[in-house]
């Protein structure tokens, strides 16, 4: 059996295992949390507020995670954040299993967990470049995403069944265990710190340097802005309307299968990216990003499972083909000593408006109609992707592979 050369690097295998474990748990947790809130009597608006609290905490903390990721050993920070997240999710699981949970308590724990994930995420992403030679970077980015997405497919596939069979509390307990596995993997990574210039003496100075690096690349800040609008609209459609619309029409398990189809699209995109390496990958990926509109449109127009699964698959396929080129563009074109901060700005810029969308989706959709709002969401997602293609910096950025991988 042929082993990809990139998997011969021990530290990359550990990084891959840790991030895949988190991917598995992160697919189970939101499905379990959504139905836990609904089982506690929560409305669509309340579910949106719970998810928004997590997202807001993540956005508020991720810049600090980027600063720390460029200042401290990245593997140590990723390990500590994962271990603490295991504790917070363990508390949530215990409260649900013992029937002591409330919507307020779940919201508070969600805030804590969002902060912890945000502290570790930039470091985990930036570690990729330190665990492989530059010639293997393209394969490392693709395989890292492919492994995470495969784990999430498994998680989404079983999430609805787990909630139906063992309950939301035990499903969230599984998420807590995946953080334990991730912390163990990150703790075993041994890499040298990234060489680079001396950082400014204050966190604000370091943030200014990171922001300057983002603004230096037009394609970078432009597509972060596009992602901001994308998540403002799609976040609520995915986390709030999806479980309600699909759950009511087809049953709770169907929502889990829809998310599994979404992640299967991610896997297909990753497999295609292993072989298909267009020279202007960012242009091609941004063009294919328009496929993401298929998922909300399918939710709006069909109450049958097959069109829903197809729409979810096309969403995942288009988003992953874009994301591989996006991730690789950052890895290849951003200064190594600023990489964690740029990833942090990418996350905060992309998701800063998501809590607003999560909080407002329920009331807005209730006013205009769930199906009509899902069609608006699809139009915005496709339209912003096409607008981004007007920029020469997006159309002309070329992939730089130094050697076959």
Q: Which of 44-48, 228-232, 282-286, 379-383 has the lowest mean pLDDT?
A: 44-48
Residue by residue, DSSP assigns 286-322 as: HHHGGGGGHHHHHHHH--SHHHHHHHHHHHHHHHHHH
Residues 6+ apart with CB under 8 A from 275: none
Residue by residue, DSSP assigns 17-72 as: HHHHHHHHHHHHHHHHHHHHHHHTT--HHHHHHHHHHHHHHHHHHHHHHHHHHHHS
Length of the chain as a residue count: 405
User: Quick one: 7 exposed, middle or buried, by C-beta within 10 A (0-12, 13-18, 19+)?
Assistant: middle
| Dist CA 110 CA 125 (whole Å) | 22
What does the DSSP 8-state code read for residue 198?
Answer: P
Q: What is the largest CA-CA distance in the chain?
A: 58
| Dist CA 86 CA 42 (whole Å) | 25
Q: Which of 42-56, 192-206, 363-377 has the highest mean pLDDT?
A: 363-377
**241's tokens:** 């309307």
pLDDT higher for 8 or 192?
8
Neighbours of 284 (CB within 10 A): 17
pLDDT for residue 169 is more than 70: yes
Residues 6+ apart with CB under 8 A from 383: none
pLDDT tens digits, one per residue of 215-230: 899 999 999 999 999 9
pLDDT higher for 366 or 177?
177
| pLDDT band at 382; cut points 50, 70, 90 | very high
| Dist CA 264 CA 295 (whole Å) | 13
Domains (range + CATH), the chain: 5-396 (1.20.1250.20)
Residue 264: which of 383, 345, 155, 149 has the closest Cα? 149
231: enclosing H helix or E strand: helix 218-236
Neighbours of 386 (CB within 10 A): 12
- Mean pLDDT, the chain, integer: 84
The percent of residues in the chain predicted with pLDDT above 70, rounded, is 95
- Say which residue the tokens 């002591």 belong to: 100
pLDDT for residue 248 is more than 90: no
Q: Are 291 and 317 in contact (CB under 8 A)?
A: yes
C-alpha distance across the termini of the chain, in Å:
17
What does the DSSP 8-state code read for residue 328?
Answer: H
pLDDT tens digits, one per residue of 69-126: 877 888 888 999 999 999 999 999 999 888 888 888 888 888 888 888 888 888 888 8
Neighbours of 198 (CB within 10 A): 6
Q: Alpha helices, DSSP H only, in 40-167?
A: 44-71, 74-97, 103-126, 128-131, 137-166
Q: Are 358 and 239 in contact (CB under 8 A)?
A: yes
pLDDT for residue 288 is more than 90: yes
């Amino acid at each position: 059996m042929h082993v990809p050369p990139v998997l011969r690097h021990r530290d990359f295998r550990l990084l891959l295992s840790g991030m895949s474990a988190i991917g598995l748990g992160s697919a189970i947790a939101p499905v379990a949390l959504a139905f836990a809130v609904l089982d506690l009597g929560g409305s669509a608006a309340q579910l949106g507020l719970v998810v928004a609290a997590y997202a807001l905490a993540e956005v508020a903390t991720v810049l600090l995670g980027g600063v720390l990721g460029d200042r401290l050993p990245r593997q140590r920070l990723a390990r500590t954040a994962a271990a603490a997240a295991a504790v917070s999710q363990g508390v949530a699981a215990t409260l649900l299993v013992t029937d002591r949970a409330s919507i307020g308590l779940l919201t508070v724990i969600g805030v804590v967990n969002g902060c912890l994930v945000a502290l570790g995420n930039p470091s985990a992403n930036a570690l990729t470049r330190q665990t492989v030679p530059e010639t293997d970077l393209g394969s490392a980015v693709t395989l890292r995403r492919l492994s995470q997405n495969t784990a999430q497919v498994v998680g989404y596939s079983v999430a609805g069944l787990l909630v139906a069979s063992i309950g939301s509390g035990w499903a969230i307990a599984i998420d807590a265990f995946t953080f334990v596995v991730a912390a163990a993997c990150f703790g075993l990574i041994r890499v040298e710190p990234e060489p680079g210039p001396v950082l400014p003496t204050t966190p604000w100075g370091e943030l200014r340097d990171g922001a300057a690096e983002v603004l230096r690349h037009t394609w970078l800040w432009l597509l972060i802005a596009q992602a901001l609008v994308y998540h403002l609209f799609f976040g609520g459609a995915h986390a709030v309307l999806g479980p309600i619309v699909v759950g009511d029409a087809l049953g709770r398990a169907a929502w889990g299968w829809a998310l599994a189809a979404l992640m299967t699209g991610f896997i297909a995109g990753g497999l295609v990216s292993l072989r298909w390496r267009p020279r202007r990958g960012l242009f091609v990926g941004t063009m294919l990003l328009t496929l993401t509109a298929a998922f909300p449109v399918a939710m709006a127009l069909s109450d049958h499972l097959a069109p829903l699964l197809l729409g979810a698959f096309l969403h995942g396929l288009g988003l992953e083909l874009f994301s591989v080129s996006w991730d690789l563009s950052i890895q290849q074109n951003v200064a190594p000593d600023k990489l964690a901060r740029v990833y942090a700005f990418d996350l905060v810029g992309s998701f800063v408006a998501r809590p607003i969308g999560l909080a407002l989706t329920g009331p807005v959709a209730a006013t205009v109609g769930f199906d009509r709002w899902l069609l608006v969401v699809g139009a915005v997602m496709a339209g912003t992707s096409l607008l981004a293609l007007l920029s020469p910096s997006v159309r002309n950025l070329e992939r730089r592979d130094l050697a076959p991988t």
